[in-house]
Each structure stands twice: as structure tokens, then as C-alpha cells.
Structure 1
């Protein structure tokens, strides 16, 4: 049977032993918990031998103050409870540990900078579902994998020592932090010792994605021609086949450093480079001169060279689509949202960080330059493409993902193309944060974490 949501009552010192749990008789009966034998209490990596004391007309669970302190449980907690007869274990939880890049302990109102509001929203949603969540950074990982120092929300943010979680959700925004030996070792240990799950465990490089998905025949129709950029011969070959090509930093994000190359009359070429303040334009008399100019950048940055596409326009600006796909409470991929992203006047990329703007899918399709016949069922086709690609990532890349941001383009003929797959999609790219309302994207993180942990 499924887990039950219960309120945890922490007793005053001296009223209850640390090895005793008081449970309502109805709950004991529903979960088939034996009361005449020693049991184990499990809360993330925390383990403790206990005995159960039944009490009629009790809705929740009573534990001692000492036990609550060992578990790092604040007052008035709501958790889920589950009994596993095979191991005689009462499980409380689940615990979700969210790995973030940085904290600011001295800024009490915004301890996580710009993502504080998202963290608060997730904490509120977890509280409603009886899920325990905390937030920690790589610097909080110590020598023991059974504990981390992290942040809880309980009448304000507070920092404390916590058990390792049942499920870890990687929201690191830096490859350098993600690849730190301490982070890699910790995740390996908690998986091995406590059966913890770790999703969105790595960044995806553009070359890795296109090489992997290129092996799936069912995805061929979505894939623009794309290669790791190596030399002048490759540039010449791509430019001979496509009037526009793009160079994209394989480890880039937010549209930074993308170069658009287009043919001009008389054998000349033009580059447009996406920069913070706008687009930088250069003209070159020949392709070889263009390549010479690029050679310096190639020493420090590896690029993916990709076929350019003639995107549909909205208000005379290019538009593409960001699909947020997440695994649900059944562990299956589902589409949480699809939004249109319209490029800014000064940019040819649509990223919000480059001044792009958001628009609803329906509005973008109706106002686009697509012929009426191509507009029909485009929303359905975009969602199918996003799901197909997410399944392809699971099948072709040996890593655990629970959510993906999939950027799709539609050309003037209505054909759908893959632009990019992002394993750390922004939480501000789909629907805005708003008041006390919990967004579907946040709920889905909790649903999938409950699926993984068995709660």
C-alpha cells in the first residue's frame, strides 16, 4: 500500500524514551506494523532501533525530543510513513536533498541569491505533501557520507546537520563544481550505502547529445546536420551545403558565444556573434579569412558546427520553443510545459538572458508566418518531439535524468528540429513564480522523487 501522510509530535524531555515511537492504533492496523517486536526506524541515511507503542485516537506519530534532534526534525513537521515488512523497517520521509551552487549565509532573506524564491516554493510544496527537503552546496559535503550540513525552511531558513537524503536533485550551475572529487565521491557513496537516487546528475554537452541521438533512427527527422567543429575542410563542406551555419560552444549556455555564419554575394561571408550587449557583426572577403579569424577562439573553446535553419517568425523576429519534460509519479516522461521564445531586436538567439521574451505556444503559432495547414496540430507535434527526444536521451546516454529543457525549432515548412537539450533547465523559463501557488514543474520534481524513493 502507499505511504500515509502524518503529523509528527515531538514530546517534552522525560515523557518518552528515544527508542520508542507512539503511533495511532488505526495507522498501525492500516500499515500492518507489528508492536511486539524490535523494529528499525529509517529516515534517509539515519537508522535507529525502536519499538512501537500503540495509542487509540492518535492521528500522527509521537517521538522524543532526543530522537527528533538526531533526525534534525523541526517542530510541527509533516512526513510520510511506510512500513517494509521484509526488513522490519518503519520508513519516514522521503528526504530530498537539493544540490545548489552557492549560499549566502549572511543574507537571511535570500540565502541562495536569485534561486531563493524557487527553493522556498519547493519547500512549501514539500511541506504540503509530507516530504522533507533541504538545500546544500558542495562546500557542505564533509568527510562522512551519512551527513551533510544544509538549509531547512521552518519559520525561516536555518542551517543544520542533516541525514543523507533518499533522493538528490542536482541544480548545480557549474561543471567545475559538479566534477569536484568531493561531490563525485559523496554521490557514489550515498548510492552504494543508502540506496539514494541522484537525478540530473550531469551537464550535457552539445556534441554528446547530437552524437548520441544520431544513433537513434527514430529521431533522424528532428536532427539538423551537426558535427564537432575540427578544421577548415569541415567549415567549407558545411557552408557549401547550407547557406547558414551556426557555431555553438559545446559547453555553452544561455546563448553565449554562438556564431552565425552566412554567405554573402561574391564569395564573401558574414558572422554574427551573440554577446551580452547585442550582436557583433563582421564581414570577410573569403571563407579562409573567416576561418583564420576563428582560429584564435578555437584554441580556448570547442564548437559544434550545425546546419542553420530558416525559423518561423513572429512579429518579424525568429521564434523557437522550449519544452520542459519531467518524469512523473510513474517514472515516465511527460511534458510539463511548452513556451515560445522570441528573439530580441538586437539578437538572433532567443534566450531570455539575451533579451528574448516569452509567449504562449498557442499565441506564437497563431501569429507565426507558418501557412494555415502547417499550424494544425503543431502543438501536439512539438510535444511528441520533446517526448521522443527525452526517451532518446534515456536510451542513448548512460546517466540519470528526471527533467530536461528541450529547445525545438520549426522551419518555414512546419518541420520540427532539435536545437539543444539542457539538463539544468531554468525554473524561470516556463511559468512565472507567483505568490503561494505551486507551479506544475515544482510539483513534478516532488512526484518523481516520491516515485524513486518508494513513498
Structure 2
């Protein structure tokens, strides 16, 4: 199979014709594919063309193919595949072409613009944009003129960027996800948000990574919490499906005063103490049922200027289906907080600013990279579905050991607001589209195998 990058040029001819360079041409070519659409056509050799495909206007209209430079061309014995057409699924659309998805419009505009580097034809859509009768989608494209809405076939691959668990759990999404996979064989990557306890139990099975995990208990009983506090002095209570540091409590025991303390963030940091652990625990779980939480040992973390530091590490699959480290940033806690999240007053900083000693920085960076790649491989083998990216929250303790606190299948991008991470911002977007291109090629190869 040939896989090259070409520019499209439209001819005013009304016949269904396609002109291709000599490097692609052979006499048996007679079908063109774009997304889930196809058409029989006349294919002619164009000896003067090098990286250009000429397509008639009539054929362009039949395929609902938008004009787009730098497309990939796949060929086999009888067919030419143009694209790939990459659908980016999200929710929260406004109906406005100025900001079609509200505050996140700029984020998606940057992602779609990255196709100028990777090739391919990406677009943004929601489940309500699918027109099942015609097999098309009214997708949003980002062009030199801004956002435009165009009708295109169902895509070769779907990148799931649904914004939250509530949306993703809707029956409508689950039904459509199954229909696209079962009836159209369209691969979808990043299918679900991770559950903290599920990830923990899966990684515990892998001897190569389990030592990076803090001791963790699901739905902890009062007796278990008491035992953990006796051993570790401080424990984090985290919602299994939480994000952005919301709903996290720190529970600790002061042996000199014989009291327990709970800390959590609402409008401000709240601290409560009591001689009875049961009283504090009952107060925590008045509205939050215990079965929705995990208890995790608190790790004595490395500090900068007496402020706790942890690390966000991004990994991505690339064009060759291999995991790569794509970004590392330090997160420094605010003055009054239980986490380092920006929503709780935390700050993003580069490793160069956190580690003044270059040797310490390089050693920490290499350790974080090797750990992230090792756990990415482990999760890739254990988790059902296709994973294209992971955002890790790591800690480094006072002895220099790495600990994994969380893994996110749809990592937030707040760290890329930092000026020093602009290259990483673009690189993570590039890798996401490259992985989509890889999956589309695999889907085409699978289609070929089905119809010898």
C-alpha cells in the first residue's frame, strides 16, 4: 500500500475522473474512497504531476470532499483512498460559527490547524450533527476564513474529546459509539474516562509497574482508615471519577494532640479537627457516599520554597503506534490548598525553574519519562479500547522515588498555558492527529483484507 502526501486540484470537468502521478498509477485503478463514501471513476496517468492529484468537480461533489491541501493517498490493487477524514467528537456546541463550541473553540481551532503539518482532513462534530439517512455529518472545519460548516461522509477514524463523564455516560453516546463500531467499523480512540480504582487494580496486576503505586483502598471502612492513618499518618480521600482536584480530602492524625484532622477546599481551605475519627468520617460522607471514594496513602513529596511539587507528564501514541513522552511540567501548590491543581491556586512551572541543579533536573526528567512510558504500555495492554494519549500526575518523594497518583485518558491542557510549553502544546496536538492517521490506515488495511 502506498501512503504519500499530496495536494488536491479541482478540474471543472463534469465526468467522474481522477488524474494521478505516474508513481501511483496502474491500469486496474477504478474506485475512489473518501471517508465512508466511494465512487467508480476513470483514473488517468498524469506524467507531469509529482505530488498533485487532480479531481473533477463532479467527483468531488459526489464524495462531499472539501478542498484541502496535504492529504494522504493510500492505494491498493483497485482503489485510491483520499484523506484520512478525521472526526473529532465533542459536545457543548453553541450553533454559532464564530465560537461553535464556546470557550473551547480556540483549543479545537489549534488542533484542526495542526493538519497543515500532519496532513489529513480533521473536523469537529457532535452526535446531533450525524445525518444517518444520508450517511453524512454536518461538521465544523477551521479554515483561513474561520469556522465553516460542511457536509462530509462519516469519517475514517474518530477522536473522542467529549468534555466530561456525564456527557460520555449518556445512552445516546453509548448507542452511537456501538453503531459506528459495529455497522461502519470506524475506530474510535480514547473511548472512556478512566476510573481511578479501575486503573489502580489493573496496574496492580503488572509486576513491572505496581511499585509506583501508593497504597490504595476502595470504599474504605472506618477501621481501614484508622489502620492507614496509624501507618502513614496522612491519607488522601479521592472520588473515583473525580477530576480537577474536586472533592478531594486530606485526613491526618496528630499523635501529640491525639486528634484527627480533615482538610478540603471550598471557597477557601477548611480544616476540621476532632478526637473521634468516626465523627469526621461521618461528616465527610454525608453527601458523598463512601463507595464512590478511594483512600490513598499520602507521600512525603519534594518541595520547592516549602511548597509541594508534583508533575504532569503527557504521553501520546505516534504515527507508528508507539508511545512517546510529549510533555512534562511541574505543578506547585498554592498557599492554602490540598492539591497542586490550578483551580485550587496551584501554579505551572518548567522543570528548569524548579530544579536549579542541571544534573538533578536531568535525572528527574529521565526517571519521569521512563516511568510514564512503562505505565503507558501497561495500561495499553490492560485497558479495553484504543488509547491515544494519557496525562499522568506523578510525585517524587524526598528520597527521589517516583509515585503515580492518577492517569487521565482525556488529560486537561491547562499546563500548556505556560509560555515555556508552547512547543509541547503543538507537539501533543500533532501526535494526536498522527495516531488518527495510523488508525485510519489500519482500518483501510482491514477493509482490504475483508474484500480480497
Q: TM-score, normalised by structure 1?
A: 0.89
Aligned residues of 1:249 and 1:301 also touching (Cα < 8 A):
no
Structure 1 pair 72/432, CA: closer, same or farther in 2 (3 Å)? Answer: farther
2:203 counterpart of 1:210: no
Counterpart in 2 of 1:20?
17
2:371 counterpart of 1:385: yes
Q: CA deviation at 1:441?
A: 0.7
Q: CA deviation at 1:442?
A: 1.0
Please give the alpha-carbon distance, in whole angstroms, between the structure 1 residues aligned to 2:116 and 2:246.
37
Structure 1 pair 438/2, CA: closer, same or farther in 2 (3 Å)? Answer: farther
Please give the alpha-carbon distance, in whole angstroms, between the structure 2 residues aligned to 1:363 and 1:149.
46
How many residues are paired up? Answer: 438
Q: Which runs of 5+ in 1 are unaligned?
A: none
Aligned residues of 2:29 and 2:79 also touching (Cα < 8 A):
no
Q: CA deviation at 1:38?
A: 5.9
* 3-state SS, counterpart of residue 324 of structure 2: strand
After superposition, residues 254-269 of structure 1 pair within 5 angstroms as 254-264=244-254, 265-269=256-260
Please give the alpha-carbon distance, in whole angstroms, between the structure 1 residues aligned to 2:152 and 2:41.
20
2:135 counterpart of 1:149: no
Structure 1 pair 38/389, CA: closer, same or farther in 2 (3 Å)? Answer: closer
Please give the alpha-carbon distance, in whole angstroms, between the structure 2 residues aligned to 1:364 and 1:256.
26
2:3 counterpart of 1:3: yes
Q: CA deviation at 1:145?
A: 9.0
Aligned residues of 2:17 and 2:55 also touching (Cα < 8 A):
yes
Counterpart in 2 of 1:449?
436
Aligned residues of 1:38 and 1:49 also touching (Cα < 8 A):
no
Alpha-carbon RMSD: 2.5
2:356 counterpart of 1:397: no
1:334 to 304, 307, 324: 324
Counterpart in 2 of 1:201?
191
Structure 1 pair 132/245, CA: closer, same or farther in 2 (3 Å)? Answer: same
Please give the alpha-carbon distance, in whole angstroms, between the structure 1 residues aligned to 2:422 and 2:236.
40
2:20 counterpart of 1:30: no
Counterpart in 1 of 2:445?
none
Please give the alpha-carbon distance, in whole angstroms, between the structure 2 residues aligned to 1:320 and 1:429.
13
1:134 to 120, 123, 135: 123
Q: Which runs of 5+ in 2 are unaligned?
A: 443-452
Structure 1 pair 181/50, CA: closer, same or farther in 2 (3 Å)? Answer: farther
Counterpart in 2 of 1:119?
108
Structure 1 pair 438/382, CA: closer, same or farther in 2 (3 Å)? Answer: closer
Q: TM-score, normalised by structure 2?
A: 0.90
1:61 to 53, 65, 68: 53
Please give the alpha-carbon distance, in whole angstroms, between the structure 1 residues aligned to 2:14 and 2:59.
10
Structure 1 pair 65/273, CA: closer, same or farther in 2 (3 Å)? Answer: same
Q: CA deviation at 1:389?
A: 1.1
